[in-house]
Every structure is written in structure tokens, then in C-alpha cells.
Amino acid sequence: MGYPRFLGVVEGNQFIIQDEEYHHAKVRRVKEGYKIEINDLQGNIYLGIVTCIDKKSIKGEILQKIPVIEDNFCVNLFLGMPNKLSKIDELIPSITELGVKNFIPVITHNTAVKEKDILKKLPKWEKISLNAIKQCRRLFPVQINRPVSTDKISPASAVKIAFYEKEKEKILKDIKFSADSVDIFIGAEGGITDEEIKMLKSKGFETFSLGPYILRMETAVITGLCQVNFVFR
Amino acid sequence: MGYPRFLGVVEGNQFIIQDEEYHHAKVRRVKEGYKIEINDLQGNIYLGIVTCIDKKSIKGEILQKIPVIEDNFCVNLFLGMPNKLSKIDELIPSITELGVKNFIPVITHNTAVKEKDILKKLPKWEKISLNAIKQCRRLFPVQINRPVSTDKISPASAVKIAFYEKEKEKILKDIKFSADSVDIFIGAEGGITDEEIKMLKSKGFETFSLGPYILRMETAVITGLCQVNFVFR
């Protein structure tokens, strides 16, 4: 399954791994002479060999550039915030694995948490996604956006999908066209109000069902992303 | 979204809720005069009204039988056991929501936990699924089976799918036929051995890819189930 991958800075045929990533590599017991992969967060992956480990950094030489496949499919996920924001912590690795490009926390009518509590979480979510890309082999982390309220949502794609539990008829399976960018809205627990759905529809969102059973937010998000990937990617 | 649902025993036009379920109902602040739904675990859902709450039971009258849609699609999930069995605790609500009929823990070559540790977990997983059906509105819980080793897997469906990270070509989207029963195999972390995949193929399993990125077990299970539901259900 390839060599362990770390985030690092590449200059010429040298790489350097520092700070938090240095500690990750130490925990993974990286030693001199080991081959590792380096993601430079500029869209490149390299195979390198460790030549020097000191108390602050891991240095080494680049052996080769590894060919990568760029992911040109864009998914923007607008997600109603649950009362327990730690649920989002747990979801970030999954949405990273499932290819979300932009994550936009939404403050819905039923959202009980305050904007400032969400803002405080953003650096943590960024860090979780940054960590997840090494494992799942993505090039870039999910872009974590600032929270918006439902009325301030500005969709960026031609295809706009709102998964909605009161929608019983329409399922994504019936969609026959393709797209290279999709906006998804999923509400929080407690659902969203009829007025908010009206608002989303006026912004061009179409409502779809996720299936016969009521899903918790965690399952709904993964299922929704999976369906979108399946239909459009 | 309907009345809160509880598990109970129905006789004639009376219902009774006892034991652990009694405590769940107390926590949900059910009072005399409240309307609730009762799942009798025989395939029936009733609307009832609470007439009497004492120290051990909640009793009431049945108002009407609620029409239900039976789910005739059968998914059997064979899942390689991870080293942290608590990950399965967290997965059981999701696989309940996604309609799994039978859950069969698999002891693969790379499974580090012992059979007896898995056996100890079965009653807990049964209870978690039983709790989840009330929320997601399924009629029956997932059947939790005894663990088997990879060579003892006996698939029950005509369609047998093994999601496998080394399979890069075949995706479920290419499948054009339908089925009313599907067996799914998903390995644990660390993957399964080439020999085990050979074994599964000899039992009729076909390998499929779950997409371009490497998924953690949690995401793989939900994504795999979602794809199967999407294609066949």
C-alpha cells in the first residue's frame, strides 16, 4: 500500500519535515534510511529517503516524483450544525475520504450552538482533515469555510441537492445527467423548517430522499456523499 | 415525524412496556394520556395511548394499527473484525439504519482479537441495534450472528460482493442486473491476505473498488452498504 506519507517542505531534491508533522513521524518510528512519501501541499507527492533526524526536524533526499491523479470533481457540503459539535470532529475524516472540497457549516433555525463556538472549532477541523489526507491519500485537505446562516447560503454549482427527510419520492438514482461540481445541503438533527426548505428551493436546491429509514446525521452525511459520488463522479 | 416509538407487548387492545424499555420511556418523559407508537417485534406497529404508569410498567390501549412497509431486500454483511471492537459498537446504529439483515463478524488472518472477546460483545450489539430501530423506524433489528473465520464464510445470496482495496478497476456502478439478496464482505484494517481473497473468490465473491481514496473501516462499511442499496434496492 505504498510508504507512509507525511506533510513536508520540498526544495530542490531535499525535503524537510518539522513541527507537529515531525512528531507524527517520530510516533510512526521513522528512522534514517527509511523511505517515506512527502506531500508538499502544492499538489505534489514525492518518494524520499530519510538521511538525517535531529531534535527538531527530519531531513532527506527526494528519490522521485510520484504521479498523482487530480480530482476534478467538486463537492461543496453545506451542513446544518448539530448541538454536539464534537460529532463534526468525528465526521471530518469521513468527508475527507469521500472527496468533499468545501465544507460550509450552516447555522439553521434549529441550531442551538452559537456562531462563536463554531468559529472556535474551525482550526481543529482543518487540522483533522490535514491529518486525514495522509491516510486516505488525497492531495489537499477539505477547505473548512466560515459558518453561514441558511438564508446566506450561496451555492456555487449548477447542481444543487438538498437531502430532506420529508421528501419521500425523489431519489438521486433517477438523475440521468452528469456534473463536475455539486452543492449538497444536509440539515442537522431536528430537521430544518419548511421555511428554510422554501429558501433553499428559491436558491435552486432540489430536494431528494436518502431512503426509507430515518438516518442520524452521521449516517446521512456519508450516505448523501456516497450517492452523489456514485451518480456524478 | 410521528410519535415516539417503544418496544412493547400487545395483547388484544392493550399494550404493556416493561424492564429496560420502561426506563427508556421514563427518560423520554412519557406520561399518562400521551400517544406513543409500539413495536411488538412481530412485524407490527401500533398507535397507543398511555393509561397507567406504575413503578414497573407502562400500560395503555391500542388506538390503531399503523400500516408498515415490509423490507424485502436482504443484505448480509460479513465484516472483518478490527482490533478495537468498540468501533463496531459505533457502527451498529448505521448498519441498522442502512437496512442490514444479518451481521456476521469475520475473524480474518489479520484479526488480532480473540473469538471469545467477539462472543462477549454479541449481546451488546443486539441491544444497540434493538435501540436503533425505534429511532430509524425499522421493524426488526439486525440479526447479530456468531463470528466465523474467513474460510468458514458461507454466503447465502446469489450476488456476492467483496469490497477490496487492491481492486482498482471494477466498480458497482457498472452492474446492470438486480437482486433481492446480496452478501457483502468488507475486510478489517490492515486488509485481508491474497489467500483470503482467493478463498472468497472460490466461494463466488466478486471484488469491487469503493473509489479512489483509502477509506477507514467506518467509512468503507457505510459507503459499501450505500452503494449496494443504491444499485440493487
- Give percent of chain A with pLDDT exceeding 70: 100
Q: Work out the average pLDDT over B168-197.
A: 90
Residue B190 pLDDT more than 80? no
Whether residue A172 is found in the same domain as residue A57? no
**CA atoms within a 13 Å half-sphere pointing along the CA-CB vector of B77:** 30
Residue A68 pLDDT > 70: yes
Closest by CA to A185, choosing from A140, A153, A158, is A153
pLDDT of residue A205: 97
Tell me whether residues A94 and B216 touch, CB distance under 8 A.
yes
Q: Are B68 and B60 in contact (CB under 8 A)?
A: no
Tell the burial category of A94 from Cβ atoms under 10 Å away from its Cβ (0-12, 13-18, 19+). Answer: buried
B193 with B94, same domain: the answer is yes
Interface residue B89 vs chain A (CB under 8 A): no
Distance CA A225, CA A119 (A): 24
pLDDT tens digit sequence for A15-64: 999 999 999 999 999 999 999 999 999 999 999 999 999 999 999 999 99
The predicted-structure confidence for B211-229, as pLDDT tens digits, reads as follows 888 899 999 999 999 999 9
CATH number of the domain within which B204 lies: 3.40.1280.10
Which whole number is the average pLDDT over B78-100? 96
Q: Are residues B79 and B145 in the same domain?
A: yes
Q: Are residues B58 and B114 in the same domain?
A: no
Across chain B, mean pLDDT equals 94
Of the partner residues B136, B137, B173, the one whose CB lies closest to the CB of residue A230: B173
Contact at 8 Å (CB) between B153 and B184?
A: no
Domain end call among B66, B94, B111 = B66
Contacts of B191 in chain A (CB under 8 A): 1
Q: Please indicate, yes or no, whether residues B30 and B134 belong to a single structural domain of this protein.
A: no
> At which of B66, B85, B104 does a domain end?
B66
The reply to whether B99 and B29 lie within a common domain is: no
* pLDDT bracket for residue A104 (50, 70, 90): very high
Same domain assignment for residues B87 and B201: yes
Task: Give the cell for residue B28.
Answer: 423520554
Domain CATH for A49: 2.40.240.20
Helices and strands in chain A: count of H runs, count of E runs: 5, 13
A2-11 pLDDT per residue, tens: 799 999 999 9
- Residue that terminates a domain, selected from B66, B95, B111: B66
Indicate the pLDDT class of residue A1, thresholds 50, 70 and 90: low
Cell numbers of B82, please?
A: 478490527
Residue B219 gets the label, from left (phi > 0), alpha (psi -120 to 50) or beta, of: alpha
Residue B157 shares a structural domain with residue B191: yes
Cα–chain-centroid distance for residue A70?
A: 15
Q: Across the interface, which of B1, B213, B230 has its CB nearest the CB of A227? A: B230
If 0-12 CB within 10 Å is exposed, 13-18 middle and 19+ buried, where does residue A93 land? Answer: buried
Q: Which residues of A fall within a CB distance of 8 Å from B186?
A: none
Chain segment A211-227, per-residue pLDDT in tens = 888 899 999 999 999 99
Residue B180: pLDDT band (50, 70, 90) is: very high
Q: What is the pLDDT of residue B53?
A: 96
The total of structural domains in chain A comes to 2
Are A57 and A147 found together in one domain? no
Is B43's pLDDT higher than 70? yes
What is the residue range of B16's domain? 5-66
Domain match, A32 and A107 both: no
Q: Look at residue B88 and tell me whether its pLDDT is greater than 90.
A: yes
ipTM: 0.89
Q: Assess A71–B contact: CB distance below 8 Å, yes or no.
A: yes
Same domain? For A51 and A125 the reply is no
The pLDDT of residue B174 is 84
**B180 and B198, same domain (yes or no):** yes
